[in-house]
Structure 1
Amino acid sequence: MATTRPNLQEADIEGLACADGYLWLVDSHSLKRKNPKLKDGADKARKLLAKVRSDGNRYLLARIPLVEGDGTCELAKRTRQNGPELFAARLKGDDKGDELTEALQHDLHLGPFLGIPGKDNGFDIEGLAVAGKRIFLGLRGPMLRGWAVILEVAVAADATACILRLQPIGPQGCLYRKHFLQLGGLGIRDLCDLLILAGLTMELDGPIRVFRWPGGCAPADEAVVPADALQRVLEVPYGEGMALFSPDGDLPNSLLVVYDAAADDRKSGKSAVTVDILELPPLR
């Protein structure tokens, strides 16, 4: 009997984080609208601008065990290394959404933006950080009168089904907490510990800044963080992702910044690009 290979799609991964033996990853969870080309004519442009699509490769929040050895790391479905078994799992969902989008459907702040494409100031996850049992999701959009949003969630894992389920952590047993940050009209492009990579939303070009949110890894409650409670750390020409970097193997004191669409002069061969390493100023 002939068999057909499933139509596999590349995950639209926007955020990565390493914590407690796992590589965590998150997709954008956003809708998509095509960008028309004017050379194709006005009629086709109008039709394309009217179409909004939901891609199944955009709804993923998952973790994969990391197996370390010989100075490298490999991904595994299951592993045990001097402790409890680690296993791959994803948040319960399908190609139309997951528990997170379901939980946000009727949210007063974010619910109305779930039906708007990410590039149109709709719901759009780009940052991911893991601190203990909490997962922080930085939103590129929506911007709410210039305020950016970080979602905080907690999950429990089912080893049999390899599924993650959201756990109540918010007010009245809500499955998430919302934190609003005054970043000067910038959305969140990445998260790393207490650091926030912030840039303009939608299809705009502008400043990319790195902020530090003191205490952001362990907020006592839902937070509204004004600009004067955030520390502006660095300003970079452009950036899509970042990671702490330690040149001498000691405590990290630099920031490695990577780019989604690197310039040609940053490319080497088929698979190498040049990134920037920026020295972090000391904590204030």
Structure 2
Amino acid sequence: MPEGKIIKALSGFYYVLHQDHVIQCRGRGVFRKNKITPLVGDEVVFQAENNQEGYILEVKERKNELQRPPIANVDQAILVFSAVEPDFSPGLLDRFLVLVEFNHIKPLICITKMDLTNDDEQQKISTYAEHYNGAGYEVILTSSETEAGIDRLNPHLENKISVFAGQSGVGKSSLLNVLRPDLELKTNDISAHLGRGRHTTRHVELIKVGNGLVADTPGFSSLEFTNIEAEDLTRCFPEFLRASEQCKFRGCLHLKEPKCGVKLKVEAGEIPVYRYEHYVDFLREIKERKPRY
């Protein structure tokens, strides 16, 4: 049986890429019975009735998957955040980073709309970039208008499945339009009343960019730590994980424990206070989460 990769899921159809040809497929009833939902990015076995239509028979084992956006087998996540309009949100970025780290996906931080910043805003963004670099993340500052930073972004996309994710209105579609001008993806301005972008991407789709595949995903404004437990959270902050080697107690949650390596790094200014505060907020949220039955 032929095998391929799902590059789009829309209205009950799965579009499978097989040898540079896309076949529109439906899922067999066995998926619904076993509560398996094929995702964009899935490697699948399918049966083609002709060159246009077929049925998915099997979903291969996934190396990872995300729920929001719904996509599987991702090599890296390009977390797209704007410097302004809407304003850069480290709290929301840290939420994305936790989810990506938990799913063992390599993150890359891309801050857009740098052409719209004044001197003070540029300095603030540069400071945040230094902090995240210090935590172990690569940060690329870009502009879709001037195409600044695009030459740094392009090499990261080669031979990988990358998911573009971030808050609505930060310029994900505009960035993809620069990477592939022929796409002409729809973009919308920021809502002055809501202070955020209107959703322009309605479904997840893998788009060929160079020798890689990039997913443009629907924007969203919140993330829930549904499957993350308290003991998992430290591992989702790489600089905390390094600092925890100096903690006196194994399994330290970096709250009230004495001789905590993480708190010492915060007090010394080696870990930004806001990163620690976000960690404490996330930990409280996880502990107060209603149990699942």
Superposition TM-score tier, normalisation by shorter sequence: under 0.3
Higher strand share: 1
Higher helix share: 2
* Structure exhibiting the larger radius of gyration computed from Cα positions: 2
Task: Tell me: higher relative CO, structure 1 or 2? Use CA pairs within 8 A at least 6 residues apart.
Answer: 2
Query: What's the TM-score, normalizing by structure 1?
Result: 0.26
